[in-house]
Structure 1
């Protein structure tokens, strides 16, 4: 931006106008601005603040509030009346005078403010917006000192609950339309609208149509007047009583910036942070509202060991717990070995500590963080195409926004990475990006990214490419020619979801499509810690930063960096997670070290429970009781995200660092607990703090050797169900039974109801009517849900992965592409198997399982250890000041600390 004083600088006035720009004057300052830019934006860049309510840089202009009126001259002629600077585009030779230099503009703004305040209630002492309210601030700065209005104010009953988490005070509303524009333009959820006209116009929702959106909390944050408030936060605190700490969301791999507001050691609310390169100014409701899991009443705050007499866990000191854990792990290591399951919710630093502990303290490559369905093909893909890449040399949010075509493969963006969904919707809406989805049915997320109305004209931008569940690889080999051609355009992108791991040959086929078309390729896991764990080396074939464990040269470099003798690190690739569980169940492994893993997240929860029962010794690092702690011999409490620092890597590979929000709790990060445990085993990890670990990772640098070979797995034929059988398609809802959503009733109220979806032909064949209960069954158990008939391939039934009674892994023991039984009617009365301990929250449904242990102690969740969608709460006593004391290794003190 070129700026010069308009008072007579001849050199400045004679300079050429840059191409694509115009020259105008604002408050006596001459400025060059891009054609089409709004006056209010140009003024902002000059540091001139024009008051506004409806204007928002990420929303389409509305000119609804009229607070931003300015005096404008074009070609020497003044406009007949003040113009809204938020809808007026700059023009060559334009002269703009704001309230700072024009009495006309100042009077107009005062008049608008006076009209806005006529019916606005004096709720400031009790309004949640008080202290951070644009209306308060601008009324003081640009309003009259006294009101001339003496009549009775208009009032409404308040608040109106427009959803379980959003409350509306209509009399506070200034009709700026920020909420309605966000819902329609950004989220694609036009549930909230302007109703009626004239003096009775107000914000509202349709009858029997609650404001069910994954992004509804953003309307609270952008509301300029406190008309929309949070049911969970209402009357809880005042902004000036809060301490604000910047942070990063721990719920998915989007990597959203966020602000955590807390008081007296307790988190009161979360807000979306501003980061133009990642989440812009938005976040999803899960990231905004799901934080109470960390202070759950059953959080583990002290170490526990299993009593040898009673067989029950009992609280103990850190001294005893660490000694028991160290002795048990040493015995198991020297017997048949120990498997390590860190889970996918760890920070990069904590994951690195697990990998280092496995190799140095346990001497094993039997480590795998993928606490979900996974495959060897995926493992090879991660090593060949994912590890070591970042936003600079890979796919990024900005490249998604600029892509002409995007193909989503076994990936449901709105459910699995909401900010990726928002970027895809923005790209489709603003740039006409064609977004194709390889899947089974037109989910809400598919519809909102593939058929978007802009200015009243439908823009077809991609669509669903239907395929059978398990047939995604074959579908990639048989892409329609127009899709293949679209992917050949420069900048096109393939997005692969973690569900690809359940279909043989998908990664191979996707890499071939990318190589053939030149399209970029990106992997988007669900969990926040997955990408960082890949880089940290918590996989059986990879050391930190993508170094293959079988490469002696790079392994020697790691040995030198870690200060261990050459040849001492294990060189044979280890077992993957399912192999670790199989070995523990059969007695080939003598112990397990488990982090953020909930058995019900695994492909075969019953096998996981058998493995935990059969393992000779189990150490669990947990936040809350879980299906792992039920069988653990030692339980060590660890810190939730809000009580530690660290780094998440989002799906781009972009580091997302954060600092401690709540200090003084005594809670310890996994890396510190593992460091102290290693000291008890006579091993020095030097992972006492996340900062020390981060520095060590930086010193290691990138993999100096060659990448592992890419996968080469053929597509397998899809099963052909007959009779009353069907192929199961499944993925998880964003809001479901995950225990990181524990104690969030307001959030649970907007979760999508669990239903079973089938095609019209399948419904007719089985005699199933719309909304009739249907049963989906396997040898393990049966789930009954209300049916919904949609357009999808015949012979397919879709279930949510972990919503209400629909627990695909825990009850059915099935996965995407599995053949299941399908029949009309509700469940019979339970006979042998117990009912699921978790009743349906939002829809009628029943579950009967043949599992002997139902769902585990914590009722369900994703990623149990407090790193997961099923956190496990937590806390800790305190390990003492140092893991490595001044006299060397340090020893366990009598107080349970570390000397």
Structure 2
């Protein structure tokens, strides 16, 4: 018999308990920490060590409260950050309990015995929890008259994190973050008792991609940023919400600036995406906007002298418009992967309307037709409601990473994988070449395969690794594939077959921030905005009507991809190139790209800084970085990540505005004068109901190892911190980049005769690089190199790709 609850009596659902906090009845989930329950009621209990994303520690004791169980008080105040709620519990916080209030005052007094009162010079001053809580919950006077403890300071935890030990309150937030969240436990508690302090292991620097988070979560000024230290006061800064421009995760950030200059970036709280974390690249790599080689004025090449000279916008646009009008139908557009959704849309529309061509491609990297078909058939149109999400990854029973190095290519995806695996919810498998740090720190299982053999490995899963196939068959399982898959013929097709066989959903995670949006807006030779096929007459008619064009105005023949555009320009088939911030050395064949730039009759470059394209450009038009414009990034989930202008009035223009004005000079209307106008124009197109592209059906092939003496297959991918231009002007950040080494198995090193050498020379007929080497669990006959780190620039120096044969000899030999 169920008894109906009396009026106003709280109903306790299954899995919940009822307790009383400060005289108020409340229902809470079983296992919830008491401090969380109080937070939900609007009761703030002071704390230092507690953080909602870290395991409880009970280190600081600032959150003490009175607790009664079964009508009997516990013998002493309890730490509310470590005790879980229980049925019938009665809790009194500092709001109603003199005992709890006195206990908290005592803890605060104890902390201030050793903590220096140097708030006016401390970087944390003005935004310090210790300051705030000392005022709210501390004594009004001090009984301490002795000398405070002092240490030599600061100690460099790394090149970008500095430690003032005397300010530390031993809350252990930094050590717990490092060990639990990042998986880089190099910072630890040292000594014992009164001598206990934070430090690093000898000869083990805190070389983590996430070290800046320890600065942000430190509740005092113990951990500070080398780049920001003593540069500004919090109350002198203006804070603007933003979105990270460095990878496809689309992390929420807060940009703090003063007098027209960005001073620092902090992680913003977004539970659906980055929670409260960002990587060090997103946190520290922002000074490129003030680089000395930034392009601030348009430039036009003087025909008489051959030199680029500064010009007015009017002159530069007129010169560009005249040349591109003559080249209409014979021009290619390379947009790169850094553009916002609105800017990429402007390039897509400019190519079709102003230039009359489908020769447009955003992929400034190795790519393939198979990848293009995969994007058109599988990726375009996906949203967080229909596809894989961050929270979906965290909840997945099985995750398979293929041609994807999460810590290097999408750090927040890596953190979600590690979080899920550490809590035992998720099994992670990696199809790759060696047990990289990401494999280790996600507690993953490596399915080793030679570079180029990933497709065959996927096809062989059911027979060679049935536990993986079985795991992927569980509801919610996920397959994550990176952009390196474009270098492996048949891999996208094999993954689609695996997805169909197991029911696991596929997520494509590119490395650059703008690539997912570029797919959506048709910055591909076969796609119009919204995934409409160029070859579909109904789709073209739909776009023509929305754009106000005459029927039959849009070109109906699919265009060339990046490789095709480069080859056609190098052969003289294309007369003009429009380049939007593309580095030729990122392309599959940098030498051919340079030849194309040299051969084209006219090159227009829209760029932020001087680059390899500038040398060949006939007109250079400056564009705004993300902090000087508004826009939207579409992250890998298909989630819109909108941001406003941080630094206004700089005079810098977004790409969409520059292209719109240029199109007007060419007697064409884009209606992309502002990011808002471009977004509105794109929205008017709506989603397509026309035919979708067919999925790729490329057969996989088994990769054979080189038979020649001294040869190996090259495995390569880019590291998070490398030679990328957006990381320049950041010496502190560069200091935490991973070592530049080659990696081989011991057997391969012995066979190649390099086992007794200190360095190895890796070469092709294009060039060579010489680097130190380390042993790793690579397949035999394989050598690994970072793609673009230090002196190792694989495509620039070797002209090689992932899976290419290379020569390997001891360093110093010819």
Q: Same fold (TM over 0.5)?
A: yes
Corresponding residue of 1:873? none
Inter-partner Cα distance in structure 1 for 2:11 and 2:121: 55
Shift of 1:332: 1.6
2:219 to 196, 215, 224: 224
Corresponding residue of 2:351? 358
- Asked if 1 retains the 8 angstrom alpha-carbon contact of 2:757 and 2:810, the reply is no
Corresponding residue of 2:100? 105
**Match status 1:368 vs 2:361:** yes
Corresponding residue of 2:530? 545
Corresponding residue of 1:621? 606
Corresponding residue of 2:191? 196
1:163-202 correspondence runs (5 A): 163-202=158-197
Inter-partner Cα distance in structure 1 for 2:33 and 2:769: 55
**Match status 1:305 vs 2:300:** yes
Inter-partner Cα distance in structure 2 for 1:213 and 1:363: 48
Inter-partner Cα distance in structure 2 for 1:16 and 1:28: 17
SS at match of 2:797: helix
SS at match of 2:698: coil
Inter-partner Cα distance in structure 2 for 1:587 and 1:288: 44
SS at match of 2:224: strand
**Match status 1:778 vs 2:764:** yes
Shift of 1:771: 7.1
Corresponding residue of 1:82? 77
Shift of 1:206: 0.9
1:12 to 8, 13, 24: 8
Inter-partner Cα distance in structure 1 for 2:667 and 2:387: 41
Inter-partner Cα distance in structure 2 for 1:96 and 1:10: 23
Corresponding residue of 2:446? 464
**Match status 1:477 vs 2:462:** no
- Asked if 2 retains the 8 angstrom alpha-carbon contact of 1:159 and 1:169, the reply is yes
**Match status 1:497 vs 2:482:** yes
Inter-partner Cα distance in structure 1 for 2:188 and 2:389: 33
Corresponding residue of 1:861? none
Shift of 1:766: 2.1
Shift of 1:84: 0.2
Unaligned residue ranges in structure 1 (runs of 5+): 1-8, 451-461, 829-899
- Asked if 1 retains the 8 angstrom alpha-carbon contact of 2:671 and 2:681, the reply is no
1:599 to 556, 581, 584: 584
- Asked if 2 retains the 8 angstrom alpha-carbon contact of 1:343 and 1:371, the reply is yes
Shift of 1:706: 2.1
1:329-728 correspondence runs (5 A): 329-333=324-328, 337-450=330-443, 462-479=444-461, 480-722=465-707, 723-728=709-714
Corresponding residue of 1:115? 110
Inter-partner Cα distance in structure 2 for 1:770 and 1:566: 70
SS at match of 2:761: strand
The C-alpha deviation readout for 1:773-793, integer Å capped at 9, x for no partner, is 001000000011101011110
- Asked if 2 retains the 8 angstrom alpha-carbon contact of 1:800 and 1:806, the reply is yes
Inter-partner Cα distance in structure 1 for 2:323 and 2:633: 31
Inter-partner Cα distance in structure 2 for 1:10 and 1:595: 69
The C-alpha deviation readout for 1:585-636, integer Å capped at 9, x for no partner, is 0011000000020001001100000000000100000111111111000000
**Match status 1:96 vs 2:91:** yes
Aligned residues, how many? 806
1:739-818 correspondence runs (5 A): 739-769=725-755, 772-818=758-804
Inter-partner Cα distance in structure 2 for 1:286 and 1:56: 23
SS at match of 1:420: helix
SS at match of 1:676: helix
Give me the TM-score of the superposition, normalised by structure 1: 0.89
SS at match of 1:380: helix
Inter-partner Cα distance in structure 1 for 2:108 and 2:684: 58
SS at match of 2:783: strand
- Asked if 1 retains the 8 angstrom alpha-carbon contact of 2:111 and 2:169, the reply is yes
Corresponding residue of 1:892? none
1:66 to 51, 61, 66: 61
Q: CA RMSD in A?
A: 1.0
Higher mean Cα deviation, 430-439 or 365-374?
430-439
Shift of 1:208: 1.1
- Asked if 2 retains the 8 angstrom alpha-carbon contact of 1:771 and 1:788, the reply is no
Shift of 1:333: 1.8
Inter-partner Cα distance in structure 2 for 1:24 and 1:12: 15
SS at match of 1:12: coil
Inter-partner Cα distance in structure 2 for 1:668 and 1:309: 29
The C-alpha deviation readout for 1:10-37, integer Å capped at 9, x for no partner, is 5233x43111000001011100000000
- Asked if 2 retains the 8 angstrom alpha-carbon contact of 1:719 and 1:819, the reply is no
Shift of 1:174: 0.3
- Asked if 1 retains the 8 angstrom alpha-carbon contact of 2:396 and 2:425, the reply is no
Inter-partner Cα distance in structure 1 for 2:702 and 2:592: 26
4+ runs of 1 displaced by more than 3 Å? none
**Match status 1:285 vs 2:280:** yes
Shift of 1:827: 6.0
Corresponding residue of 2:248? 253
Corresponding residue of 2:201? 206
Shift of 1:719: 3.6
Inter-partner Cα distance in structure 2 for 1:218 and 1:155: 25
Inter-partner Cα distance in structure 2 for 1:315 and 1:212: 43
- Asked if 2 retains the 8 angstrom alpha-carbon contact of 1:770 and 1:788, the reply is no
Inter-partner Cα distance in structure 2 for 1:792 and 1:720: 13
Give me the TM-score of the superposition, normalised by structure 2: 0.98
Shift of 1:747: 0.1
**Match status 1:826 vs 2:808:** no
Unaligned residue ranges in structure 2 (runs of 5+): none
Shift of 1:720: 2.5
- Asked if 2 retains the 8 angstrom alpha-carbon contact of 1:585 and 1:610, the reply is yes
Inter-partner Cα distance in structure 2 for 1:700 and 1:775: 54
Inter-partner Cα distance in structure 1 for 2:103 and 2:410: 45
Shift of 1:562: 0.3
SS at match of 2:739: coil
Higher mean Cα deviation, 704-713 or 261-270?
704-713
- Asked if 2 retains the 8 angstrom alpha-carbon contact of 1:539 and 1:576, the reply is yes
Inter-partner Cα distance in structure 1 for 2:537 and 2:374: 21
Inter-partner Cα distance in structure 2 for 1:225 and 1:640: 33
Corresponding residue of 2:716? 730
Higher mean Cα deviation, 710-719 or 296-305?
710-719
SS at match of 1:340: strand
Inter-partner Cα distance in structure 2 for 1:791 and 1:16: 57
